[in-house]
Chains A and B, each alone.
Chain A
């Protein structure tokens, strides 16, 4: 399969993740959709790395994984903290930061 297939698949997965963020209300699911988008990016990176012929893209993908892990940790920590304070876990309700 030529590389284009992988890239197109990656953009499809990215779009699905984006739609998911816009539609869902639970912060946990939004984070999961974020993971979708990140993984789509990873797929694109690895595909390009295969296209170019050296492994630098794969190293990049590894670092993206690290970053995704950190972000998940912090995001879930936030969700736990919100839950602890008995606030509703709903991004439409959590909107005090506004103009």
Chain B
């Protein structure tokens, strides 16, 4: 079988899983639904591996194939095919998506066990995986937009999964609306591409573009800027990022899959895929790099001040994706994708451990209430530590190699990009701080009452079911999380999934050690061979220098955090007092939500009110009612004839006949 046949199977299996689980939700018992959901993704992963093997069997510059099932639209110069494009980039994304998804499905198998909406969850989750695969495998911009929109919908459905929680539904709507803004950008970009190049197919677009556009021309810059709008909205970069922290209202497996490992990386994939266009629009590429850098730094500062466990990890995601966006914008395509892969591992792992801890805390997420879990949940704590080390780029973890591959490329490119590298190292320092602030809050110390209950009785602390964001009580019917929670120590699917990811987080970096092996870049680089930026390579010496700097920053950061939060816990409070404005700025998320509320939401609502009150009343109703009144009036006039008197009808009849006869007489004389 060819790589594309395997790819079609990869697309089909999650869709089938979703349909089977959703249609059979009454007939299929819950655990079976979970098995079907997980198995379909697992099989998809196997097919993705088969596709990779098939690709590896070919020469490096022949590893790109397009395959189309049928012509979706074919009229007047418009040709849209239902087609996929399999090359190194899409194979890589396929593997990451299906691999991490399999593990997350396995985790959900245990974590969501007592939830009433179990079938719905697996159906939506499978649909999401299908949509994400459609996005990465799409062979033309039209199908990309379809996948893009489906993913947005799946995200909305899963964020608002506990639909009776008002906070969850609001968060879902917020995510969807911001996503739609991105969709508009993407669609407009696709229209412009079609107008300039006359086709949607990837192969043709990227072949024609260098001939049609000059470097720096405004049309291609406009296209890339619009693509960036889409990428930023999907990847939660500033200023389209406000939906991501709120998206933590969804169940933890959802946060781990969609908002850490896969959907938010769609923007990175998009920029990598359209790298030809971005090379032709250096202004747009630089803007993207700056936005990535800004997000990385701002999100890092916000994460230091947050107290909700999942939100810290969410801002961390935003920051790491800033690295990836910066990487693929400046030309470090393979490096950015490397970081995407390692980030998927350790971020998904971090979310999984967060889920375990939140379960132990009876659904509370406030890290100020957590302590001493090292004694209570050893396995989860070890996983948290592994994830944290990888995130903080501790030497020899996967995050260490991947983050520095981006930064050393930036240095190698020189000029202003060196400043970006420096910004990246500052961001790495911030990362170490906020990550280990989290770790040192939760793990060491005297066990909190929930942890103590676990140590003493071996059973979970049982608190009243509450909404973690607003602290109000809820019931446990369908639409809310169930009454039972599951931790990794007591649920083998969760533990297995976390263990595999932990292994990946620790050792996945070893496939790309500078000067030692070149497995990943060797595979991915030919996909970007048509970009001159690809030719820039940092020397092995420069890379090791970068690694050394990164190692120092990471260790110093962790040590500083130890000092501030374990050795001298009164210091953070002091800093908060002295630097209160700075603290508030970070705590209130740099006031982006408030700014959007003021600049966009309020004017929009005002326009809506005006439209409803004035415009609707006067113009629309006026027109419609006016038409109605006219017709009624005319009818009223005509109605006079219908008097009910038979004889007047007869009179009219006769008068008409006489008139007609007169006419004929006159006309024939």
Contacts and interface: CB of A to CB of B under 8 A. Distances in A.
Interface of A: 18, 21-22, 25, 30, 91-92, 94-99
Given A98-B642, A99-B639, A99-B642, A92 B654 contact: no
B644 A97 contact: yes
A91 B646 contact: yes
A98 B639 CA distance: 8
B651 A92 contact: no
Contacts of A95: 643-646
B52 to A, nearest CB: 79
A49 to B, nearest CB: 23
B637 to A, nearest CB: 11
29 contacts: A18-B650, A18-B654, A21-B647, A21-B650, A22-B647, A22-B650, A22-B651, A22-B654, A25-B647, A30-B646, A91-B645, A91-B646, A91-B647, A92-B645, A92-B647, A94-B646, A95-B643, A95-B644, A95-B645, A95-B646, A96-B644, A97-B644, A98-B642, A98-B643, A98-B644, A99-B638, A99-B639, A99-B641, A99-B642
A98 B649 CA distance: 11
A65 B646 CA distance: 24
Question: What does DSSP make chain A's interface, helix, strand, loop or mixed?
Answer: loop
Interface string B402-445: 00000000000000000000000000000000000000000000
Interface string B232-263: 00000000000000000000000000000000
Nearest to A25: B647
Given A95-B646, A99-B641, 5 more contacts: A30-B646, A97-B644, A98-B642, A99-B638, A99-B639
Contacts of B654: 18, 22
Contacts of B642: 98-99
Interface in B601-651: 638-639, 641-647, 650-651
Contacts of B643: 95, 98
Contacts of A92: 645, 647
Contacts of A25: 647
Contacts of A96: 644
A56 to B, nearest CB: 25
Contacts of B651: 22
A98 B638 CA distance: 12
Contacts of A22: 647, 650-651, 654
A44 to B, nearest CB: 15
A94 B649 CA distance: 13
B42 to A, nearest CB: 73
Nearest to B641: A99
A18 B661 CA distance: 15
A94 to B, nearest CB: 8
A23 B565 CA distance: 111
A34 to B, nearest CB: 10
Interface string B490-523: 0000000000000000000000000000000000
B646 to A, nearest CB: 5
A30 B651 CA distance: 13
A38 to B, nearest CB: 15
Nearest to B640: A99
Contacts of A97: 644
A7 to B, nearest CB: 14
Nearest to A97: B644
A95 to B, nearest CB: 3
B323 to A, nearest CB: 78
Nearest to B635: A99
A74 to B, nearest CB: 16
Contacts of A30: 646
A55 B383 CA distance: 112
A68 B303 CA distance: 99
Interface string B354-377: 000000000000000000000000
A30 B644 CA distance: 16
Contacts of B638: 99
A98 B640 CA distance: 9
Contacts of B646: 30, 91, 94-95
A13 B644 CA distance: 27
A18 B651 CA distance: 9
A98 B642 CA distance: 5
A22 B652 CA distance: 10
A33 to B, nearest CB: 10
A21 B648 CA distance: 10
B50 to A, nearest CB: 77
Nearest to A92: B645
B110 to A, nearest CB: 74
A18 B639 CA distance: 25
A35 to B, nearest CB: 15
B635 to A, nearest CB: 8
A99 B636 CA distance: 9
Q: Which of A25, A30, A94, A95 has the most CB atoms of chain B within a 10 A radius of its CB?
A: A95
Nearest to B658: A18
A14 to B, nearest CB: 11
**The 6 A-B residue pairs with the shortest CB-CB distance in the complex, in nearest-first order:** A95-B644, A98-B644, A99-B642, A99-B639, A91-B646, A98-B642
A25 B638 CA distance: 25
A79 B654 CA distance: 24
A11 B329 CA distance: 98
Nearest to B657: A18
A5 B650 CA distance: 28
A25 B639 CA distance: 23
Contacts of B644: 95-98
Q: Which of B642, B643, B647, B651 has the most CB atoms of chain A within a 10 A radius of its CB?
A: B647
A92 B643 CA distance: 10
B391 to A, nearest CB: 81
Nearest to B642: A99
A21 B651 CA distance: 9
Nearest to A21: B650
Nearest to A99: B642
Nearest to B648: A22
A22 B650 CA distance: 7
A98 B646 CA distance: 10
Contacts of B639: 99
A15 B643 CA distance: 24
A79 B442 CA distance: 99
A91 B649 CA distance: 12
A83 to B, nearest CB: 17
Q: Which of B643, B646, B651, B654 has the most CB atoms of chain A within a 10 A radius of its CB?
A: B646
